[in-house]
Structure 1
Amino acid sequence: MKLRLVKRLLLIGIFISEVWTQERPGNAPFCALNAGSMSLECLGNLLRVTLNAEYFEDKYLSFAVVDQSGIAWDLDEAMAAQCGYTVTYSNWSSIEFRASAASCHSHLEKNVFTVTIQIKVSHTPDMENATSHLKSASCHYGPRSSRELVCESNYMEVSVRKEVPQPIKDFIQDAPEDWSVVFPEAKAEEASIWQVVFHQPEEKKALLVSDAWSAGYGLKTTDTRVVLRIPHTAAQVQLVEDQGITFSVVRSSTFYKHGWMILMVDTTVACPVDGDDYTNKTITWTVPKYIPPLSAGATSFKDVLVEAGVDLHKLSAKEMASRKYVLSDDLNVIMMKIPIGAEGGYYKTSVSNGQLGAKYTINLFLEHQWEDNKWGLTRHTIIKEIETPFEQIELAITSNSNLSTRLMNVTVGTFLPDVELVNLTIEGVTVAVPEAVQHGYIIYRTRYSNGSRAYIIQVSLDAPSIKKEYMRDDMRAYTLNVTLAFITHPSRETFTVPVTAASAVRDAVLPSVRGFCDGRNLHLIITHGNVDQNWLPFISDWPLTPEAAQKYNYSLRDNGTHLAISVPFLSPHVNYEVFHTSGIKASLYLSLKDGINLANRRDFSVSCRFSPSELIQCLPSGTVIITAIKVVGVEDLDTSLLVLRDRECKPSVVTEKTATFKFSVNTCGTIRKFNSTALTYENEVLYFRPGNDTPAYRLKFVCSYAVNQAANVRYESKKNLLPHVKPGFGSLTLSLKLFKEKSYSEPYQESEYPVVKYLREALYFEVELLQPKDARLDLNLDDCWATNSQSQDNLPQWPILINGCENNKDSYRTVIHEVNYSHRVEFPQHLKRFEVRMFTFVQGSTLLQEQLYFHCSVVICNTEQQPLDFLCPRRCNAGKHRPARSAEPHLHGQVSSGAVIFRKENN
């Protein structure tokens, strides 16, 4: 019979870890057990050997019985039941080996029986390198009864005295060979069992000795006794009910040979199967006194003795009273009452539907002796293990964190000694107890004086599997979630215990922020704390994910220690709170929310003043881009309904807070004005509520262009219906270019200057208004002249055009060329072309071979002006003085060409 303590065994097992000391060195086959590891008891017709389970922890055990010839017979469950041996795990700390006085290989001499057992111990299930321990024990067996019945946990046994008749005087016995002829099966020994007949209700079945052994029955005969042993699982066992109690019954007759005679003896046996009840926290065990199968044929009965006890120990009336046991003996039944939990029994762990519970177990012992007119004295010994129903228990889980060492300690238990922790599941990963340290878990097992145990889990607060969650202020909650898996011994039932423990620690470091702005963006740089790993950034309840940031052209970067966010000034999630001439107060509000429940954790903001020019762009091409914004206090404004003076001009881009218009200065009802240095355009952004022609919102803006310089854009506000707008910038651009041919198709490039020309060679000049491209503007030439330096005011000077007319002092008159529309010329009124002959300055009679620079002054005229004044359009007025300027101002400008070098012709 082989078993492993706690892990697995043939019958039972437990698991602890010590070694036995060998009695002899080297490879000695037999070793002696240490003191305290084994005890022996003689209990009537039974020998009990008790092994200390803790001593054999984490080892495999096997049992064998050694016969008189020295042969060791290995025990398995079937052989143990057949031969009268029992191995049980009686409680948390002991393993019992019991042998019947009539067991197969016991030696019975007079009133003493001797049993020799061999115990092998190994660390492996194949029993390699096992140490062997041999032990013999002899027990005195008292006066024998005519019939002895034993009800063990794995077998039933009946032992009866042989009835030998007196020999007949002068009877001639048969010779041995005569037995072989008549009854060959009964020829073996002088006194031996020949045949067993089982009495079934419908038939009788006879088995010879060899067949009975093959069927699992145990038979033995001595000079004075016949023994039959039946396993509880034998085929001939019948269930019979008497007085509400069910019995396992085998009715049989055993035939044996004595001398020249074949005799028969009744070997019927009966053992109670049930009879136990559990009410009011009390176990009640009832056994009928006279069981019909055992009383058949008898007519008179007399009780001799009723004794009871626990673990095969008989208890006196005083001992029973101290344990609150009650033993009652009436006319028909014997009854024992034991309080659940009383001394003598023990609790063992049980699992039902995954729930942890316990059952109370007690190994009762009852011996009833009676006399009748058939058998004389009968001794009926019943060993009955009673187990109460499952009762669920609540398991205590206690958390006691040591914050100074940042350790979380959780105590789980208490458990009964038959429970062992086998693994832990940490974040979905199952690890064995020895491997848990690799995950930061240290497991301790503590034992208490009553034998129970608890498990202590110690884990660092900084372990990856500990969930950390911000609570409030500077508090963080640390939560341990782990599932413990246990196994019970020897039943090997499994159950799990989910463990959740939390501790609050004042160690939270909240994220901090630094905000700033540059010319066009608002920036927030958030320094991570130790609580915001799973917090998400939100702008106005809008999650700022990398994908969303890319959609709005926001910059979002996180390097693990800092989260950097950059948002353009004109963005849909920027708030405009204050608006005046000194700037716009733009604010970006950002919240960090819990990534699980979206609870608001921290709020940050950055506010900066931006130049109003960020709202208006006056492009040189004459295109104006203006962004109207909705400020705090005008929440009812629908930006999609904003229009310009021409209500057909609607915004090209609309957000909840902004509306962007892009249009040419020629369109959308834009008004143009002139002064002496600048060209000005005006328009308005308007908002009309439905059904009302009075603007509820008006934003007037002005875009000014000045020659060769930037001009401010002004704003106006009426009745505080709208926020103020800061100016943008624009410029007006003129050019004077020298062309290679009269076709005016190819100008000289900058890299080609200075240009070399010969005396009296034609020079083709073009003056152009480059920006803005406004069809209502007309460029007119006023004066044109040449100098020998880049300065327009340098002397000497030579006039080419005077008041828009040719210089009549020139030998070669300046020629004005007409400008027509072409693929290069979109607005002919923006260009003037003229032709002059190459000349040079003369000093006395000497030609000065120096560079010439050509300059022109221009007038930008308004073609829509009625009536046209004297200067616009410019007319040639030779001989007249320059008139006074008209009431309507005009824009004047000057342009210059690159250098032209005079070269004499080669003669």
Structure 2
Amino acid sequence: MTLAQKMKLLFRLALLVAVMASDVCTQQSTSSDFIVSSCRKSLVQLYLPAQNVLKKYVMFSAIDQTGTAHLITDTLATKCGYTISYDDWGSISFRSSLYSCYTQIQNDTSYTISVKIDIAARRDMGDAVTYIKATSCPYVWSPREIVCETNYMEVSTRRKIPVIAEGILRNEPEDWATAFTQAVGGYMSVWQVVFHLSTTQKTTMLIDAAQNIGYGVNTTDSRILLRSPYNASQAVPQKIGGVTFSTLRTTLFYKQRWFIYLVDNAVACPVDDVKFMNDWIVWTVPKSISPLLTGAKTIQSSSVQFGVDLLNLTNAEILSRKYEIVDSNTVTTARIPIGAVGGYYKSRAVNFQYGVSYRIHPFLENLWTDNGFGVTRYTIIKDIMTPFQLRPPVLTNETIPSTQIFNVTVGTFLPDVQLVDLTVGDTVLTVPQGVDRGYVIENITQPNGSVTFVLKVPFSDEKVFKEIPPDGILFILNVTFGFTIIPYGETFTTTGTVECFIPQPIVGPCEHNAGTLSTSLGNLDPRWVIFVKDSQATEGSGLLSTNQTHSTVQVPAASGLVMNEVTSSGLSVTIPITIKDQNGNELYKAVISCDAPPSPAVCLPDGTIQVSVKKLSSLPDMDLTRLRLRDNRCGPVTIDGNMAKFSFTVDSCDTTRTFQDNLVIYQNAISYSSGDSGRPLYIMTVTCNYVTNGTLVVDYGYLDNPTPSAQTGIAPLDLVLRLSKGDRYNDFYGDAEYPVVKYLQEPLYFEVELLYSSDPQLELFLDSCWATIAPDMRSLPMWPIVDNSCEHGEPYQTIFHPVTADTRVRIPSHLKRFEVKTFTFMEGDETYTGEIYFHCDVIICDSSNLDPACTQIGSCIPARQRQGRSVDEDGDKHRLVSSRAVFLLAAQTRADKQFRNHPQ
């Protein structure tokens, strides 16, 4: 082993010890195998799958050659060449420039990036687990390389001094040569930078000063690098070919006694080069970018490479994905169909409405050769997401009336949508509760991966409304589907009313024919089943005959299937008919009335009178043993099922006798009396002579008691988040005053109120509050305001204000008030200005009962107040509420914030 090899081995051992010593987390480092590392052009990429980081706190730190870990904030990221991005599924991508601040470089050909990743379930990172990931990548640099990352611009040039060759000098001085005056007057033996703000205006500063304001300037044995944020103070916006570029021109120089070493560095990156036209993403990049061609007269050759996720695509792959890449002498245009392979759709919920966005990460690399800089490799990396596209779900009624079951489909959705609950009528049910209730709830995946949800509810369910017009029955199902979008839990609902009309069967008149009662039924579904009383009517049973349009029910008059009823005009015979569906569910009931067929008393020659009495359907609890003749001692001689038989002589049981036209007429009456009052409920006169049949006369009437009923009323628990005009909370901005304009020096006073409730036992708690720059409460960036019911304290503390009763506030527990400092919202080291929205996650508790949902509210809420119970036990205990837009105007304040992944 040579001395050089031994020294390298000792250095690696020392680095390993330093890395282990720098671990500041409480948990021991574990295997980082789940972190996928790869070399992507002049970048190193680490990919952290969602299952390892979703809804967790993640911090990245760069490890230098001494093993010291440097926390990567957003300012350090743009200065040192780091990019951290999150996809819509919760995964994290970390990219590092090969020339990042803490890269370990060997011979300017091999580069090692070491990163410490802390993952915790708690915000304070007390339970963090640390992972160390080191990745080495070889790379061959072009003389000049320019990278337009999503959060910074970078240019590196070869610093090798060329040999003096004939014709190398030109008569025209190059633009950077105007920096010579600053170089001559600069410090000795110190790297400095001249910023070219215009052709006449320049600014000079030491490298340390440039680095302190966010620039990354570095040198290696063979290269000089400049890195800048897009919105750097010395960056100049410039229109080139209709596209706005952020441009930065510099001259780096190093001065010693005998020479001045000048290096021209220029970087220009597009900022508005992507447009959305119909169903296409159109990305246009000009080729002749003047700030990058200063000192060059001609472009000798040029080639373009296009790809996705920093992986090159072949021409065949571009064609198969239906991309269109047009490369001319002046411009390169990439047209990407929205929805094409390489990107992905993601469901989104905006204002509780469903829609989608399409996201793709393309890059464009232009390699050209000019007579000034030689070979330039120019790479632009984009993260493109299309605007929110509203896709209202479609509710489809696929109900077949004869099944007596509502069949409703709702969709279609992307596979990241889940059905979590549904409201049928006025009852909210989770999916398992709906299944327990007898509903069929299932999701159907289509061949293209989209999802449709199916709900089946029986007509007989108590939450199904019924209306009975003259010609049938109208069944009405009011349903609201509640959905959530994984993995971040955005919610939306779809409401609809589904109706199904079943026409009333046509019932014909009752006819008598040789002791048989018959009636016709029309307008029937062929799958329906007809019952006479409890017996199914079929052709085999002799009770039914059918043709193409009607069915005829035939019942013997003497059968036990018919019933006798008392009416105001006498005794009638009825046929009870029930129509059921093929599943046995009852659809219709009909009672067909017929005139009573002759049923005379039997008058025997010996003076004996015999008569039979059937149980009456209008008296369902009729006790045949209580039937009596006029003589209360005379009852039925036999009772057989629903029939009572009397037999008495003409000279018994108070039978009367009259004479008329030489006829002897005997008459008695059979009565049925109430057991309580003894009042006759039914009287049938029995008449007998020995020439004609007897006559039956019936006179009967009764009243039903009213059926008890109860009604249940419900009211919504609604919330509002409003902005007060001052800290007295007595005057609030109206709808017409939004968006409200505020300066950064002005605090914001918010009030959250529970509306439409007069219950003093209810209390409102703020679980969390946050701000976003878009109406979508799950959009990024996201600034915390209230954390776990506590006042957020970085860098300006949120302040809770007490609520007391007054003329406007009747129940103080229904309100919460807090104050927000507008300097809280930072973008990099700049205070955010522009449109901003505020959101709160609220829990409503019942202080008279105990419930874990309220006892687990954050530690900042006193224990007494947490002795409450959520008022919505069957569903989600949280309620979300948002404010309207507030517009922040600039103020002179700067701050830095740590770059952390907050749970989404």
Choose 1 or 2 for highest CA Rg.
1
Q: Which has the higher contact order (CA 8 A, sep 6+)?
A: 2
Q: What is the TM-score normalised by the length of structure 2? A: 0.45
Q: What is the TM-score normalised by the length of structure 1? A: 0.45
